[in-house]
Amino acid sequence: MGSRGWLEEVRRRALEGLSIAPPYGPDVDVLHYVELNKRVAPGRPDLSRASEVGIDLERAGRSAYYLQVDQRVLQYLSRVPGVEVTTVEEFIERDPDLAAEYLWKLLDPSKDRFTAAAALYGFGGFVVRVKKGVRVEEPIQTCLFMSSPGLQAPHNIIILEEGAEVTVYTGCTIMPEPAGLHVGVSEFYVGRGARLRYVMVHSWNRVTHVRPRTAVKVCEGGEYVSYYISFGKVRSIQTFPTVYLGKGARAYLASILLGLEDSEIDVGSYVTLSEDSSAQVVSRVLARDRSKVWTRATISGSSGRGHIDCRGMLIHETAQIYAVPELRALGREAQLTHEAAIGKLSEDEIAYLMSKGFSREEAEGILIRGFINVDLDWLPSRIRGYVEGILNLVASRA
């Protein structure tokens, strides 16, 4: 197949996928949003809103970052030796044969109508490549911003060569008014002995549908750490990223979710183990108003160790939480465990804190903040502060 022939094959498979509905989450007419892109002029984004999801554009400009608004790539750069940041279009143009090794290799464009829409109608997306042995202390910040109604469908690639180490912090948000569909396709490659820490923070609006599609390959001795946080009003979110672990590789995946108003949120993780690999999948859910939240987690393998920890708290009686942990032991060497719990704020604990001088509102805030604690020791100290600040914001909105 010629240097660009693989792109035609991707398009052919994507056309087949447009008719395939996803197994989870509410279905969406993707072509409606494609038409909006054609009819609606680009909006004027208030980029100061990016700070709400932890993006500091001024600080990012001193190291490495990527900024996309709607289907337009505005800025990208890297001042870090050994780190390349570019767009997916430039990556393909510069070296189509290399691009063919990474694009649409972990995800199938025919999987469902959302991956198909990204392959056929998407534009932009970042490519971050960290060279062999390079360790980056400052986070690489990427921002995907929506200012207009329609489809935003970037294709993001992260490539860590052997022994590399980096944190990528992605913030996604939207202006208050537009009705959007965000489909972020991401394929991450973690080389032998490399370490990728990925933090993704979402704050949308009440009329936006969000469909991230993510797959990660972790080579022998590598490590992948992920924190996904969603705390804004949203119409619906559905994502079920897959992580493939090589021999001796490790993964820690944490999701912190806040359901508000009538939102439908369906978030999960699927991890495939191999010899001497290990994985932890953790979720913390706060559901209020009339929101419905599903947390799914699957760990599968014939060997290795895996643990699932799902916890949910119902803030209002009208909210709903569904925990769906699944363990698949395919051989006797697999050691898999899970725990799941859903409940409400303890009146005894509230009363105890009030006896210490806190108001009821303060007591509830303390308990909620404690409930959504997850292990942040996987992160460098300077990144930990970013995430702790976002968790405080989540607790304040519950």
DSSP string, 24-42: SS----HHHHHHHHHHSPP
DSSP string, 149-216: SEEE--EEEEEE-TT-EEEEEEEEEE-SS--EEE--EEEEEE-TT-EEEEEEEEE--TT-EE--EEEE
Domain ends where: 326, 345, 364? Answer: 345
Q: How confident is the model at residue 151 (pLDDT cuts 50, 70, 90)?
A: very high
Separation between Cα atoms, residue 227 and residue 389, nearest integer Å: 13
Q: Looking up tokens 């942040």, which residue turns up?
A: 376
243-264: average pLDDT: 97
**pLDDT number for residue 41:** 77
Looking at the structure, do residues 243 and 367 belong to the same domain, yes or no? no
Looking at the structure, do residues 125 and 138 belong to the same domain, yes or no? yes
Burial class (CB in 10 A: 0-12, 13-18, 19+), 182: buried
Count up the domains in the chain and report the number: 2
Residue 60 reports pLDDT greater than 60: yes
Separation between Cα atoms, residue 236 and residue 238, nearest integer Å: 7
E strand or H helix at 101: helix 96-102
Looking at the structure, do residues 157 and 28 belong to the same domain, yes or no? yes
Answer for the pair 334, 304: CB distance below 8 angstroms, yes or no: yes
**pLDDT number for residue 1:** 47
Q: Looking up tokens 């992605």, which residue turns up?
A: 170
Residue type for 167, please? T
Looking at the structure, do residues 335 and 375 belong to the same domain, yes or no? no
Looking at the structure, do residues 215 and 262 belong to the same domain, yes or no? yes
Looking at the structure, do residues 356 and 340 belong to the same domain, yes or no? no
From residue 53, alpha-carbon distances to 32, 141, 393 in Å are 28, 11, 10
Residue 43 reports pLDDT greater than 80: no
Boundaries of domain holding 388: 346-398
Structure confidence by residue, pLDDT tens digits, 311-360: 999 999 999 999 999 999 999 999 999 999 999 999 999 999 999 999 99
Looking at the structure, do residues 122 and 233 belong to the same domain, yes or no? yes
Looking at the structure, do residues 288 and 379 belong to the same domain, yes or no? no
From residue 250, alpha-carbon distances to 13, 24, 224, 272 in Å are 32, 27, 6, 11
Looking at the structure, do residues 63 and 29 belong to the same domain, yes or no? yes
DSSP state of 135: B
Domain ends where: 345, 366, 385? Answer: 345
Answer for the pair 170, 199: CB distance below 8 angstroms, yes or no: yes
Name beta bridge partners: 278: 250, 305
Looking at the structure, do residues 309 and 363 belong to the same domain, yes or no? no
Looking at the structure, do residues 109 and 222 belong to the same domain, yes or no? yes
Looking at the structure, do residues 280 and 371 belong to the same domain, yes or no? no
Structure confidence by residue, pLDDT tens digits, 271-289: 999 999 999 999 999 999 9
**pLDDT number for residue 16:** 96
Higher pLDDT, 57 or 130: 130
Q: Average pLDDT of the chain?
A: 95
% of the chain exceeding 70 in pLDDT: 99
pTM of the predicted model as reported, rounded to 2 decimal places: 0.96
**pLDDT number for residue 376:** 93
Separation between Cα atoms, residue 187 and residue 241, nearest integer Å: 10
62-83: average pLDDT: 94
Separation between Cα atoms, residue 256 and residue 298, nearest integer Å: 17
Structure confidence by residue, pLDDT tens digits, 155-212: 999 999 999 999 999 999 999 888 999 999 999 999 999 999 999 999 999 999 999 9
